[in-house]
Structure 1
Amino acid sequence: MTVVLMLLGIAALLLLRVPVAFAFLGPGLVYLLATGHSGGLAMRLIADATASFPLLAIPLFILLGSLAAHAGIADRLFDFALALMGKVRGGLGYVSIGVSLGFSWMSGSAVADAAALGKIQVPQMEKHGYSRRFSLGVVGSSALIAPVMPPSIPAVIFAGLGAVSTGALFAASVIPAVLMAFGLAVVVFIWVRRQPDIRDIGFSWARVAETGKGVIAPLLAPVIILGGILGGFFTPTEAAAVGSLYMLVLGLVYKKLTIRDLPKIFVETVMTAAAIMLIVASAALVGYVFAVERIPQDLASLLLGLTSDPTLFLVLVALIMLILGTVVDAVAVLVLTVPMLMPIATELGVDPIVLGVLMILSLMIGLLTPPVGTVLYVMSSTLKVPVGEVFRGAAPFMIPMLAICLVIIFFPDFILWLPAQLGL
């Protein structure tokens, strides 16, 4: 009954739009104090949750994405993609997907992509005859590639919680991220066939060559970061630090960054990282309560009672993540559920890498789904449009993402092929 009351308290606070970290922290503390635990235990649990070497990569990857945004990398990728796709019907839709795919190798955050690219792409698309709803939908849904494609902040969190190789999880995420881009492109292809008013931009080899020079150095960033991780030269934390330094140098060379910009970038990084780590810490407090009350064991008994089939287990996990992702922040969901689901997956012989990729992708769909839908609110506030219009525009693009979840569930070896080839 005490756990039920705690969960009701969390739900009530979330409905009142209290920040997720505090919605978890308050009821968790009340439970501990009401059951005779000390405040010192709560502080130790919070400290231990964030004292993890793998999680140290999170602020560095956030810094990398912030430096890339301030260095104008998104603008360069956009100009190059636009030059390549100028004569293609519906080219701006494909450009939006391609730029998000390219920028995702550096940002790792859907929110960062939506904020950085939305301001550039949506006005351009509207100017060339694309409807606002479609423009919002393709840009918002394309932003979801970032937290799936490495370097992925949710993947770092899952790897730390599940004690799995971050490099292997990164490698396994590449194919699903590429499939996401392909699936979104199919939706664009179908949509533009019915839009006779779409105008092309024009094509020039000279423009392709000129803009192409501007993306050579930025596109070396994923080679350095992922090549270093997958090649065994860097840990993910070290790779994030090297990538951040490389992006800083690029920004200074391009004269988009100055030394005076650094304090602002560092403050942005600290604020974002602090928000994530506070969620990790508060969710770990609730996770301790679950452990004391044997919730993981009860959940394991329930799921194992329902099925002993690994495929059906993955279907249930995807459904749970899709539902939780619509109401709770993805980081909090991972912190709460990974310790509970990992033993069940092991019992059923489910590869933890497959479980991680499926959980992350399923949760990311929630970023475009009310009532939480962080990307929805970022797009809405950035472009001054109603949240509902963003959601209606994004709805058709959720179909291919749900289809990719099914691919992961029924063909897990498909996404494990790349880690196997790399010996991870």
Structure 2
Amino acid sequence: MWILIGGFLGLMLIGVPVALALAGASLLYILVTGTAPDVVIAQRMIAGVESFPLLAVPFFILAGNLMNIAGVTGRIYAFAVALVGWMRGGLGQVNIVGSVIFSGMSGTAIADAAGLGTIEIKAMKDHGYSTEFAVGVTAASATLGPIIPPSLPFVIYGMLANVSIGALFLGGVVPGVVMTLMMMATVAYFAHRNGWGSDAKFSWRRLGAAAVEILVVAAFPLGVYLFTLLGLTTNQAVLLALAVLLAADWYFDFSAVMALMAPVILIGGMTLGWFTPTEAAVAAVIWSLFLGLVRYRSMTLKGLAKATFDTIETTASVLFIVTAASIFAWLLTASQAAQMLSEAILGFTQNKWVFLLLANLLILFVGCFIDTIAAITILVPILLPIVLKLGIDPIHFGLVMTLNLMIGLLHPPLGMVLFVLARVAKLSVERTTMAILPWMVPLLLALAAITYIPELTLWLPRLAGLGR
């Protein structure tokens, strides 16, 4: 165990990338102990990525990239301005609402920060907000990306923990709402303290238009239900309702109806059994291509090629981390190290609420140093047996783990969202870190609520018949 963990930490401390540190520590363990032939590394690398759910990774990444180049982010931003821009601290509220909508398409915090963050930070600076405040609210709202479905970390966790990815997706809805409300309350507090006004004139016409768009999206499932009452099958009713919606969108030229429909299509398609969560990622790409090439006609071949190559680059790095982490996690299990760590934790406490507190502290610490995907791959084999033994629902624990790791993305030394926003805002990493610190308060409060009120996570999956 000490060779594995010590080797990994030692390689990390001298600046070796996390994937190479994981693979190097695993190789060192095999060479020193002689417990397995060298070929095991290649076998475990293949086994680590030979998984149907992992097919969702490149497609969700591609969907986020396509949404960015199709100009959908600009439409989402304009819609959010119409909806909440008139509030005090308006563009801060816009930042959060925009992230909620974009989260329903991208599934990653980094895509949110890089896509919407570029627009939001510039707009907030132009309206007189400090760069630090703009960066802080953008970083905090980016954590919504993997909590509100769809979510890449949920795909990885669901695969490793052998739980329903669809249930994890549904489980993220209510926690996402809780986080959104806490962040909006934080913006309102800053606005009151600093005497900020609104950033867009209140207009019944603009607010009404935004409300109509929400009602149009909300009317989609109602339309499906009414069409089924007329004798159509569910599939026929969905297609007819979608055709009516597309015709209305073309005629009235709504700002964000099609973007708002993305999570409806993904969650609805999985609920109706049209596609699995993995296939939902492909549906997200198809919807992105439809918006960019057909509906808005804003996507060029050059942009499409760039999105594709960016996806290849990101996917390669993610899967390299998964392969290296899978070797490391397998050796932790095979060497009984994971069992020893589990027994040590259970020897300290048998109370599930105390365990959840300790798990939060551990995952928060790990998230500051290790990539999200690698952290999930390493920690699940260690912590899941304890979770099951203490009677904690693995779906609930998946939300807790993911939110902890999202908070870790905002921390040095390896927080990717931190570095992305530092580059976008042209701030030093130190100033960016200080800008993010006040936003830890609502995030940690949300983490406490999600950890100790399991029903926030489990109510919706149980209602849909996917929970225990």
Q: TM-score, normalised by structure 1?
A: 0.95
Question: Paired residue for 2:338?
Answer: 296
Alpha-carbon deviation of 1:35? Answer: 2.5
Runs of 4+ that moved beyond 6 A:
none
Question: Paired residue for 2:378?
Answer: 336
> Structure 1, residues 4-56: CA drift from partner, whole Å, max 9, x if none?
23323322332333221111112211221333232211100000010011111
Taking the aligned partners of 2:184 and 2:150, their CA distance within structure 1 comes to: 22
Taking the aligned partners of 1:189 and 1:160, their CA distance within structure 2 comes to: 39
Paired amino acid for 1:120: I
Higher Cα Rg, which structure? 2
Question: Paired residue for 1:353?
Answer: 395
Q: Confirm or deny that 1:379 pairs with 2:417.
A: no
Question: Paired residue for 2:17?
Answer: 19
Paired amino acid for 1:423: G
Taking the aligned partners of 1:209 and 1:255, their CA distance within structure 2 comes to: 27
Q: Confirm or deny that 1:405 pairs with 2:403.
A: no
Alpha-carbon deviation of 1:205? Answer: 4.6
Q: Confirm or deny that 1:221 pairs with 2:262.
A: yes
Taking the aligned partners of 2:368 and 2:449, their CA distance within structure 1 comes to: 22
User: Could you tell me whether the CA contact under 8 Å between 2:86 and 2:198 is conserved in 1?
Assistant: no
User: Could you tell me whether the CA contact under 8 Å between 1:128 and 1:199 is conserved in 2?
Assistant: no
Taking the aligned partners of 2:393 and 2:85, their CA distance within structure 1 comes to: 43
| Shift in alpha-carbon separation, 1:210–1:421, aligned structure 2, 3 A | closer
| Shift in alpha-carbon separation, 1:210–1:176, aligned structure 2, 3 A | closer
Selected match of 1:237 from 253, 273, 278: 278
Alpha-carbon deviation of 1:402? Answer: 1.2
Paired amino acid for 1:162: A
> Structure 1, residues 48-90: CA drift from partner, whole Å, max 9, x if none?
0100111111111111111111111111010111123332211
Aligned 1:1-150 pairs, distance under 5 A: 3-36=1-34, 37-150=36-149
Q: Confirm or deny that 1:327 pairs with 2:369.
A: yes
User: Could you tell me whether the CA contact under 8 Å between 2:90 and 2:197 is conserved in 1?
Assistant: no
Alpha-carbon deviation of 1:206? Answer: 4.8
Q: Confirm or deny that 1:250 pairs with 2:248.
A: no
Which secondary structure state, in structure 1, belongs to the residue aligned with residue 374 of structure 2?
helix
Shifted more, 90-99 versus 270-279: the winner is 270-279
| Shift in alpha-carbon separation, 1:389–1:198, aligned structure 2, 3 A | farther
Paired amino acid for 1:259: L
Which secondary structure state, in structure 2, belongs to the residue aligned with residue 52 of structure 1?
coil
Question: Paired residue for 1:175?
Answer: 174
User: Could you tell me whether the CA contact under 8 Å between 1:171 and 1:230 is conserved in 2?
Assistant: no
Question: Paired residue for 1:281?
Answer: 323
Shifted more, 150-159 versus 15-24: the winner is 15-24
| Shift in alpha-carbon separation, 1:5–1:296, aligned structure 2, 3 A | closer
User: Could you tell me whether the CA contact under 8 Å between 2:85 and 2:198 is conserved in 1?
Assistant: no
Alpha-carbon deviation of 1:232? Answer: 2.6
Taking the aligned partners of 1:203 and 1:265, their CA distance within structure 2 comes to: 37
Taking the aligned partners of 1:17 and 1:101, their CA distance within structure 2 comes to: 35
User: Could you tell me whether the CA contact under 8 Å between 2:87 and 2:198 is conserved in 1?
Assistant: no
Taking the aligned partners of 1:314 and 1:230, their CA distance within structure 2 comes to: 30
Alpha-carbon deviation of 1:202? Answer: 1.7
Paired amino acid for 1:90: G
Taking the aligned partners of 1:167 and 1:39, their CA distance within structure 2 comes to: 37
Q: TM-score, normalised by structure 2?
A: 0.87
| Shift in alpha-carbon separation, 1:315–1:127, aligned structure 2, 3 A | same
Alpha-carbon deviation of 1:133? Answer: 1.0
Q: Percent of counterpart pairs with the same letter? A: 41
Selected match of 1:306 from 345, 348, 366: 348
> Structure 1, residues 359-409: CA drift from partner, whole Å, max 9, x if none?
111111001111111111000112211112222222121112211222222
Taking the aligned partners of 2:387 and 2:404, their CA distance within structure 1 comes to: 17
**Unaligned stretches of 5+ in structure 1?**
none
Alpha-carbon deviation of 1:288? Answer: 2.0
Taking the aligned partners of 1:241 and 1:375, their CA distance within structure 2 comes to: 25
Selected match of 1:265 from 307, 313, 322: 307
**Unaligned stretches of 5+ in structure 2?**
214-253
The number of residues matched between the two structures is 422
User: Could you tell me whether the CA contact under 8 Å between 1:104 and 1:147 is conserved in 2?
Assistant: yes
Which secondary structure state, in structure 1, belongs to the residue aligned with residue 94 of structure 2?
helix
User: Root-mean-square deviation (CA), in Å?
Assistant: 1.6
Paired amino acid for 2:461: P
User: Could you tell me whether the CA contact under 8 Å between 1:133 and 1:390 is conserved in 2?
Assistant: yes
> Structure 1, residues 119-158: CA drift from partner, whole Å, max 9, x if none?
1111211221211111110011100100111111000000
Alpha-carbon deviation of 1:210? Answer: 7.1
Q: Confirm or deny that 1:362 pairs with 2:394.
A: no
Which secondary structure state, in structure 2, belongs to the residue aligned with residue 350 of structure 1?
coil
Selected match of 1:414 from 435, 456, 459: 456
Question: Paired residue for 2:186?
Answer: 187
Taking the aligned partners of 1:362 and 1:141, their CA distance within structure 2 comes to: 13
Taking the aligned partners of 2:281 and 2:4, their CA distance within structure 1 comes to: 38
Which secondary structure state, in structure 2, belongs to the residue aligned with residue 194 of structure 1?
helix
Taking the aligned partners of 1:142 and 1:135, their CA distance within structure 2 comes to: 11
